[in-house]
Structure 1
Amino acid sequence: MLVFFSTRFLFFSIIFPLLVSIILYQLDSFDPAHLPAESLVSSTTSTPPLLNDKFLTGAEFIGVGLLDNPEDIAYNKDTGLIYTGCVDGWVKRVSIHHDSANDSVVEDWVNTGGRPLGIAFGIHGEVIVADAYKGLLSISDDGKKTELLTDEAEGVRFKLTDAVVVADNGVLYFTDASYKYNISQYAFDLLEGKPHGRLLSFDTITRVTRVLLRDLYFANGVSISPDQTHLVFCETVMRRCSKYYISEDRVEVFIQGLPGYPDNIRYDGDGHYWIAMITGETTSWKLGTKYPLLRKLVAMATKYGFELMFMKNAGIMQVDLNGNPIALYNDHPFSHITSGVKIGNHLYCGSLLHSYITRLDLLKYPAQKKL
């Protein structure tokens, strides 16, 4: 009787669940790919000489409870207002107070009815929004008019319109992170490891949308060089940023082997780019990147609401115009950081997780040489 009980216990507690798992694994249609070898490389040249790895120690929080996952941040220096897009569809305006985060005022400005991500300012005062669901939008007349500029290219609709930047001649450059998965499914694009991203342009005069680059690994943030000759754009899965030379239609690596997974990139007008990294390169992310089998198991768990690819040690890296790293601001419990914008002496950070904008006084809490 004891032997029978032990055998039955072994079958139902170990063998049966294992068989079910194998069957479910075989039946699941999710098919992750091997990533290019360069995505697995960590580079010492991307390690900055200056570090502040206690970001949260000096951090302040703006608009607590009033900003629901403020993903990107754009600052209008003429009005002193921050514009940011939230998960509830609102583009909100924030009047910042440099001396006290508590005195900042949050205003509901325009609701796009979608999920506003990237934000930039057009040359005629309009606000350009990359809405993950809607496409590329233009908001003008102080929020009274919202116009859809484009939502497809080459007959393929955008699935995850992500980041946008405006050139001095008015041309809009933006990314569609994935033509396969929408923002609620973005984790599956990262896990699948296939290039569904595109870099595009929209000419506001001709109204023509062009695909500049395709087959990108989760095309994310995009910025334009001060001399307007090239774009710098991020590929999250590859942990790299690349240059796209506009007149030459040529691509070269800007920085690769980042210590985390890049999201938005912003130029500060003072010779530096700021690259936000949504998570550091944790052990689980390293293993997942290397082994498609693990990514399939993670994807299956994700479908049932389990998060196995933990995000931590997120941060913002400062680099020069040639992609040379200068400083890294991060923290071990920090996660889901999507943008970093330098305004005066402060660094303002957006997030896909928090209900506030995080800011750090760079003079009081500077990055310093590592011991």
Structure 2
Amino acid sequence: MSEVVTESVGASDRKRSVLWSYAVFLTVIVPIALAVVFYRVDPFDPAELPLHELAQQDLVVPRVNDRLLHGSEFIGSGQMLGPEDIAFEPESGVIYTGCADGWVKRVKVNDSVSDSVVENWVYTGGRPLGLVLGLNNEVIVADAFKGLLNLSRNGNMELLTDEVEGRKLKFADGVDVAKDGMIYFTEASYKYDLSGFIWDVFEGKPHGSLMSFDPTTRRTKVLVRNLYFPNGVQVSPDQKSVIFCETVMRRCKKYIREGEREGSVDMFVDNLVGVPDNIRYDGEEHYWIAFSTSVKPYWDIAFKYPLVRKILAIVTRYIGRPQMEKNGGLLAIDMEGKPIAHYYDPKLSMISGGNKIGRHLYIGFLHHPYIMRLNLDQHAAS
């Protein structure tokens, strides 16, 4: 009898061993084999980024508020999806913002944000991203799909430009206007449009440019080529330069507008604590750079290694893009590019723009359905 029991136990052990082997094969070996096959056959070819160009020391910010959500108010919640950039008209107290549904909206903010009024103003039919007030309070819009637009005060829309050097613009992004009327804007990529922006980030190749549009001659000109996803644009208050963000390289550069070095490009600030989107000047000797996410730890590794970016591209293509964004916020820097204060929150991501208006910091998002506001007198970085 004991021999029968022993044989039964042995058979049971062998069965468990076989099942365990199958389980290991299905859950470990097969996924690894499939991953190797996908990696070899997938044509996506990311490049090394020139990270050696960045400052070797981390950017040290003297003042920090790492609880941006604490004390923040939400304006127009549910009435505007993805208010990407913010332009303020002081005379009327109206905020203009472009949203994911194609509408440029006007927002009248009252003392109580619950009483704020959100109005559908102009429908572009595309995706308005960067926008800025023109010299006569018209609104200049960089629409990712339509190009550079002018929205008159009465809401009429005019196409300024949608092509350069004989080709159509692929991805208009940030914009600003100089006091002489010259309009500066970025094309984030000539290869990918907005719907494929993540592929441009993963590929790590310089497909972008800084451009100008002269409203007098109607000429569109490429000023700086081979940029790594150029994004936000801001003309300096002295009008001598144009600051623009290079998202993938986590830096802002300065294009010289006039003088002996006209046309040259300098580094303004680099090795940023986050991935930069828009940049805006607040009229009080500070620029505000919006960060969609911090760079550590995930993005830091991805930026360093093309292998990691290819794996992320494969995962994105066949499974869906992993959510790696966190610690979204804004960085205040002075006129020399030195950091002043960093406002962020671990629970925030995809912050795309913001500026200090009065005593409040107004914040826009690529996807979230509201503008966020923080009273800087009550919640200043420390």
Secondary structure in structure 2 of the residue aligned to 1:17: helix
Return the alpha-carbon distance in structure 2 between the equivalents of residues 42 and 359 of structure 1. Answer: 34
For residues 192 and 181 of structure 2, the distance between their equivalents in structure 1, rounded to whole angstroms, comes to: 29
Alignment partner of 2:176 out of 147, 158, 165: 165
State the SS of the aligned residue for 1:201. strand
1:283 to 289, 297, 310: 297
Measure, in 2, the Cα distance between the counterparts of 1:75 and 1:43: 36
Q: Which residue of 2 aligns with 1:66?
A: 79
Give per-residue Cα distances to partners, 1:153-183, cap 9 Å, x unaligned: 1223222110110110111000001111111
TM-score (norm 1): 0.95
**Which structure's CA Rg is the greater one?**
2
Q: Deviation at 1:141?
A: 4.6
5+ residue gaps, structure 2, are 1-13
For 1:140, the equivalent position in structure 2 comes to 152
Aligned position for 2:123: 111
Q: 2:230 is matched with which residue: 203, 216, 219?
A: 219
1:91 and 1:305 mapped to 2: Cα distance?
A: 33
Structure 1, unaligned stretches of length 5 or more?
A: none
Task: State the identity as a percent.
Answer: 52
SS of aligned partner of 1:159: coil
**Paired residue for 2:109?**
96
Letter paired with 1:293: L
Q: Distance in 1 between matches of 2:112 and 2:214?
A: 40
Deviation at 1:6, TM superposition (A): 5.0
Please identify, of 174-183 and 120-129, the stretch whose mean Cα deviation from structure 2 is larger.
120-129
Of 311, 318, 322, 2:332 maps to 318
Conservation of the 8 A alpha-carbon contact between 2:186 and 2:231: yes
RMSD, aligned CA:
1.5
Match of 2:95 in 1: 82
Question: TM-score, normalised to structure 2's length?
Answer: 0.92
The residue type paired with residue 224 of structure 2 is L
Q: Write the distance in 1 (CA, Å) between the matches of 2:56 and 2:299.
A: 13
Residue 266 of structure 1 corresponds to 280
Letter in 2 for 1:105: V
> 1:100, CA displacement in angstroms?
1.5
> Once the 2 structures are TM-superposed, how far is the Cα of residue 40 of structure 1 from its aligned partner?
6.6
- Could you tell me which amino acid in structure 2 is paired with residue 91 of structure 1? V
Alpha carbons 1:196, 1:218 under 8 Å: kept: yes
Structure 2 contact 130–142 (Cα < 8 Å) conserved:
yes
Partner of 1:57: 70
> 2:29, 2:75 → 1: CA distance?
52
Secondary structure of 2:69 counterpart? helix
- Please say which of residues 9-18 and 155-164 is displaced more in the overlay: 9-18
- 3-state secondary structure, aligned to 1:299: helix
User: For the residues of structure 2 that align with 1:358 and 1:42, how far apart are their CA atoms?
Assistant: 34
User: How many Å separate the matches in 2 of 1:159 and 1:348?
Assistant: 29
8 A contact 2:89–2:137 mirrored in 1: no
- SS of the equivalent of 2:346 reads coil
Q: Distance in 1 between matches of 2:305 and 2:196?
A: 20
Deviations 1:64-83 (A, max 9, x none): 00010110000011111000
- Tell me which residue corresponds to 2:4: none
Q: Which amino acid aligns with 1:301?
A: V
1:238 aligns with 2:249: yes
Tell me the distance in 1 between the aligned counterparts of 2:61 and 2:237. 22
Counterpart amino acid of 2:123? N
CA displacement at 1:39 relative to structure 2:
6.5
Kindly tell me the number of residue pairs found equivalent between the two proteins: 365
Identify if the C-alpha distance between structure 1 residues 10 and 203 changes in structure 2 by more than 3 Å, giving closer, same or farther.
same
Change (3 A) 1:4 1:333: closer
| 8 Å contact from structure 2 (residues 98, 129) kept in 1 | yes
Residue 43 of structure 1: CA displacement? 3.2
